[in-house]
Amino acid sequence: MSNSPLRILLYIFLTISLFLSFSMDLKGENIHVYINGQDLSKELEPVLDKAVVYVKARELARLVGAEINWQQSIKTLTINDENVLIKMMLGNPYIQIGNRTIRSKGSLMLIAGHTYLPLEDVAQCLGFLFKREGNSLYLSRPETYIRDIRWQKEGQVIVVEMDNIVPYRINNTNNPARLELELEKAALADDFTDNLSNKNFYLAVTPVEEEARLKLSIISQYPIPFQGDRSLAEDGDNLIINFLPYITGIKWNKDQLEIAASGDVDRPEIMLLTDPRRLVIDIPDLMLSDFDLELANNPWIKDIRVSQFSYDPIILRIVLELYPDRYLHLAEDIRARDKIVLRTTEQTSLVDLAFGENRISFISDNKISPEIFKLKDPDRLVINVLNASRGEGFPDRIDVDNKLLKSIRTSRFNEETIRIVADLKEDIGYSLQEKVLSDGRIMNIILFENSFKEILINDSELKTDLVINFSGEVNYVIKEGANALILDVPGVKITEDYKLPAPLGAITDIKIKASAEGEGIRFEFATGEYENYKVFSSSPATSITLSLMKEEIRSSKISNLIVLDPGHGGFDPGAVGPSGLAEKDINLQIALLAEDILQREGYNVILTRKDDTFISLKDRVEMANKMEALLFVSIHANSANSAYSEGTETFIAPNKVASSQLLADSLQKNLLKELNRLDRGVKKENFYVIKYTNMPAALVEVAFVSNPHEESLLASNLFKEKAARAIAHGIMEYLQKINNGR
Amino acid sequence: MNRKSLFLILLILVIAFAAFYIWNREGGGILIDGKEEVKLYFSTRDAMYLEAELRKIDAGKSNKYIETITELIKGPESKELNATIPAGVRIRNIRIEGKTAYLDFNQALVDNHWGGSTGEIMTIYSIVNTITQFPEIDYAKILVEGQEIETLAGHLDISVALEADQNLIKD
């Protein structure tokens, strides 16, 4: 071949193909670069040269959010990240980072007009963790460091102490004894300490460095009492995992059995079963754990078994096998909430049931501590006597028909209880008196009379509130005297041990004396300056509530006001069921029924609408806010584009969690108990009326009007009454919790 | 074969290689058939969750946001899922400002809605979660006939732009 154009062309072609094949190689089809778990190979176009991986400088800077600058004259590239300034010269293996210089395995390269930099060294200069597995390169930059993981509140709370909150989630492991928490962009700090592992728990930390992800696995030999994402909360920059309490000990102490827990426990359900005679104690929301068992030698309990009876709901079951005729009852006077105490009860025989004008009496072999409570609709008093039997003169029924009593009924309520029911003609207070007879037996007397219990007084900027409580329903008259308010309550006795609060606010003195008009009490509240007074209770009432307004304010501005909000109304029917039932009607009916129950219990209730009118969401919110309501409950029936959707759910706004969560939990619990529908849970959504109201607020969705079965339930009065009762009870339970400071 | 034709063949080869090289460098992002796969979120039958269904949209056609929401309005292909948008609904316009998408629907979105808290959540978040799958969009604000509305069915506050709700997604 001669030196012809063809030959030159051939050379050119060979050179180009050589270059092309080389650069195709450089393109590194198989090299993958991941930043924080994301494959960014497409953008970075990694190339491999002498075992060093290079990436496009401009793209890297863009992806990590750094400024980049190329100075053509001095062939120098500058990368300016928040914290570091990096300089590299073309072909020079030295990288300048701030005032330091390091030698890189590669150097800045120019490929097809683009600058490429050695990835590993530059990434490390930029503060990334670097990991290489064959042709995969992983860069990750943690945004937080975990300093410490520890227990708090005696094993009910785990605190994950970290620099700042990063995205987190709980993995579903299908293993109740394993809790997996994943934290994105997190790493363990150098001085990390594990203060979690103990005899019951073990902490395993698995860093997924490729994705800067940290997996914390908490493993126990027992199921861990967490409830998915609901267990997680943020506390400043720390993450909190809330656990349910667990059992710590069962101990026989003199004549009682003490069950101790690591935190507060609810009242257990107790059943007596026979063959063998055994007491079954179901404790809700308590977890099994290693616990101390000290039963010593006692003549009551033969054997004991403890098990996690159920996980959903969580119930711990203790079975006590008893000796014949033995029985233990729940002690009601225990103050400590992290303890359940069962006391021994002697078998007793009840005889000689009798009645008088205002009393019921019966005789027992020994001292009993009966459980006494009142029920409404119709009014009646229930007396439960544990571990008892009926003897002489204790018939099933006595028809009385005097001023107070209709009849007295007795029955064996269950294996261990005799129940006495007094059918009352009105709601009246009672007291139990015990007299020791000459033969050592006990005469138990239930005395019916209304007695004054206590006065509560509260002062605020706007008003002074007075609450006067009685043991039963009383009629009363309030008069305004000279510098005093006079409250006359006829037919009520003053008990010996009443206490009066110190005067406060507009009240300057409180006196109690026998009423001028004969039997009854007169309360004299000496008053300082006030504008007017308002009474919030109906008559008769067990609780008289009145406020002395210090200045003229909107009449409805009262602190203990419950706002019920029946959803929709007027031209807005809300959802409409398949057979035409309109949500707005259901909501209103339930709200009216709930209002009635709450008012009878002495609460002040206002409805945002009392009839079929349209009220905007904004007006509903304004009404509640202006009246400074104590709480707000919106009542709805649900719907979805599917006949299959079913169940009960309650919503709170994500911006107000603390008290609203408590309120919603209480509402949901009571709704499920009464209605027995599918539990869709308590959820957080930005619903208008619960988001913008200033007080604790929840929105209940009783059931689905779009579901034919639930629509028929919602149409029935019984179901609506149950729903109303559940809502009223939910509210009252919440208020009790709040008032007990829980 | 004479030299001239060999020269030509080589020239063509050089040009082809060069062209391939350049195309290969500058290319990317264009899919073979010009279509893009998007996620559409529909309601599970019990209306507890949203579940994604994959669907191809014609990326070249009008705009991908409108295309995606139009597909969402059509409802799911799977029998296990339920539609989240009532009948008669049309997307009038989608405007992007910063990281927020303003989605303007016709009045049927309100008028034909079946109501209920759950029904409303499913409708709103099927739209929000679907549109925020595009990395350039973080927030969605729903308009009806060009106007801001307080609420769709009387529960959710949609006078503000919403973020995707990951808790609703079932994978």
pLDDT at A728 over 60: yes
Would you call B25 and A685 a contact, using CB atoms and an 8 Å cutoff?
A: no
Q: Which range of residues forms the domain containing residue A617?
A: 561-739
Of the candidates B83, B132, B127, the one whose C-alpha atom is nearest the C-alpha of residue B104 is B127
B119 min Cα distance to partner chain A (Å): 4
- Nearest by CB to B156, from A574, A645, A685: name it: A685
Q: Is A371 a catalytic residue?
A: no
pLDDT at A693 over 80: yes
Tokens in use for A90?
């073309």
**Is A570 part of a structural domain of the chain?**
yes
- Residues near A14 by beta carbon (within 8 Å), at least 6 away in sequence: none
Whether the Cβ atoms of residue A403 and residue A357 lie closer than 8 Å to each other: yes
**Is A698 part of a structural domain of the chain?**
yes
Categorize the per-residue pLDDT at B34 as very low, low, confident or very high, splitting at 50, 70 and 90: low
Same domain for A715 and A625: yes
Return the pLDDT at A23.
45
Query: Quick one: average pLDDT of A339-367?
Result: 88
pLDDT at A374 over 60: yes
Whether the Cβ atoms of residue A576 and residue A624 lie closer than 8 Å to each other: no
- Nearest by CB to A642, from B6, B47, B157: name it: B47
**Is A513 part of a structural domain of the chain?**
yes
Would you call B47 and A640 a contact, using CB atoms and an 8 Å cutoff?
A: yes
Measured between CA atoms, the residue of chain A closest to residue B8 is: A6
Same domain for A599 and A722: yes
Whether the Cβ atoms of residue A109 and residue A150 lie closer than 8 Å to each other: no
Of the candidates A103, A127, A97, A112, the one whose C-alpha atom is nearest the C-alpha of residue A27 is A112
CATH code of the domain covering residue A510: 2.60.40.3500
Same domain for A602 and A704: yes
Question: H or E element: which one contains A58?
Answer: helix A57-64
Q: What is the pTM of this model?
A: 0.42
β-pair type (A631-638, A697-704): parallel
**Is A555 part of a structural domain of the chain?**
no
Question: H or E element: which one contains A9?
Answer: helix A5-27
**Is A554 part of a structural domain of the chain?**
no
**Is A556 part of a structural domain of the chain?**
no
- Give yes or no for A692 touching B (CB within 8 A): yes
Would you call B45 and A12 a contact, using CB atoms and an 8 Å cutoff?
A: no
β-pair type (A561-566, A631-638): parallel
Neighboring chain B residues of A649 at a CB cutoff of 8 Å: 117-118
Which of A132-146, A382-396, A510-524, A681-695 has the highest average model confidence (pLDDT)? Answer: A681-695
Same domain for A19 and A46: no
Whether the Cβ atoms of residue B128 and residue B162 lie closer than 8 Å to each other: yes
Neighboring chain A residues of B171 at a CB cutoff of 8 Å: none
Neighboring chain A residues of B118 at a CB cutoff of 8 Å: 638-640, 645, 649, 680, 701, 704
| Chain A residues 101-120 with CB within 8 Å of chain B | 112
pLDDT at B1 over 60: no
The amino acid at A300: W
Would you call B114 and A575 a contact, using CB atoms and an 8 Å cutoff?
A: yes
- Give yes or no for A143 touching B (CB within 8 A): no
Same domain for A707 and A565: yes
pLDDT in tens, B37-61: 899 999 998 999 999 999 988 766 6
- Give yes or no for A168 touching B (CB within 8 A): no
Same domain for A574 and A661: yes
Same domain for A286 and A238: no
User: Which site among B20, B49, B78, B117 would you substitute to test the A interface, given the most A Cβ atoms closer than 10 Å to its Cβ?
Assistant: B117
- Give yes or no for A649 touching B (CB within 8 A): yes
Q: How far is residue B70's CA from residue B1's CA, in Å, rounded to a whole number?
A: 60
Same domain for A469 and A408: no
The reply to whether omega before A573 is within 30° of 0 (cis) is: no
Q: Give the single-character DSSP code of A229.
A: G
pLDDT in tens, A24-61: 444 455 888 888 778 888 888 888 888 888 999 998 98
Q: Alpha helix (H) ranges present in A566-657?
A: 583-600, 617-626
Q: How far is residue B127's CA from residue B142's CA, in Å, rounded to a whole number?
A: 9
Other beta carbons within 10 Å of A352: 14
- Give yes or no for A418 touching B (CB within 8 A): no
pLDDT in tens, A489-508: 887 877 666 778 888 888 99
| Chain A residues 204-243 with CB within 8 Å of chain B | 229
Question: Could you give the ipTM of this predicted complex?
Answer: 0.79
Return the pLDDT at A273.
82
Neighboring chain B residues of A640 at a CB cutoff of 8 Å: 43, 47, 82, 114, 116, 118-119, 122
**Is A61 part of a structural domain of the chain?**
yes
Return the pLDDT at A518.
61
Radius of gyration of chain B (CA): 23
Of the candidates A703, A696, A699, the one whose C-alpha atom is nearest the C-alpha of residue A676 is A703
In the set A701, A711, A721, A733, the catalytic residue is A701
CATH code of the domain covering residue A196: 2.60.40
Pick A462 or A473 by higher pLDDT.
A473
DSSP letter string, A440-481: S-EEEEEEE-EEEEEEEEEE-SSEEEEEEEEEEEE--EEEEE
A13 min Cα distance to partner chain B (Å): 6
- Residues near A334 by beta carbon (within 8 Å), at least 6 away in sequence: A340, A341
Helical packing angle, A717-739 and A658-675, nearest 10°: 140
The amino acid at A525: F
- Nearest by CB to B118, from A9, A574, A639: name it: A639
A342 min Cα distance to partner chain B (Å): 43
pLDDT in tens, A1-18: 455 666 776 676 666 655
pLDDT at A202 over 90: no
Same domain for A684 and A575: yes
B88 min Cα distance to partner chain A (Å): 15
- Nearest by CB to A10, from B10, B116, B157: name it: B10
Same domain for A406 and A312: no
Question: Per the structure, how many domains does chain A have?
Answer: 7
Neighboring chain A residues of B160 at a CB cutoff of 8 Å: 686
Neighboring chain B residues of A10 at a CB cutoff of 8 Å: 10
Domain boundary among A206, A223, A242: A242
DSSP letter string, A361-385: EEEESS----EEEEETTTTEEEEEE
Of the candidates A645, A586, A681, the one whose C-alpha atom is nearest the C-alpha of residue B84 is A645
- Give yes or no for A182 touching B (CB within 8 A): no
Same domain for A194 and A279: no
**Is A417 part of a structural domain of the chain?**
yes
Same domain for A718 and A646: yes
Return the pLDDT at A218.
87
Query: Quick one: average pLDDT of A586-613?
Result: 92
pLDDT at A421 over 90: yes
Would you call B43 and A638 a contact, using CB atoms and an 8 Å cutoff?
A: no
Query: Quick one: average pLDDT of A151-163?
Result: 83
- Nearest by CB to B17, from A17, A692, A704: name it: A17
Q: How far is residue A5's CA from residue B10's CA, in Å, rounded to a whole number?
A: 12
Q: How far is residue A143's CA from residue A129's CA, in Å, rounded to a whole number?
A: 12
CATH code of the domain covering residue A587: 3.40.630.40
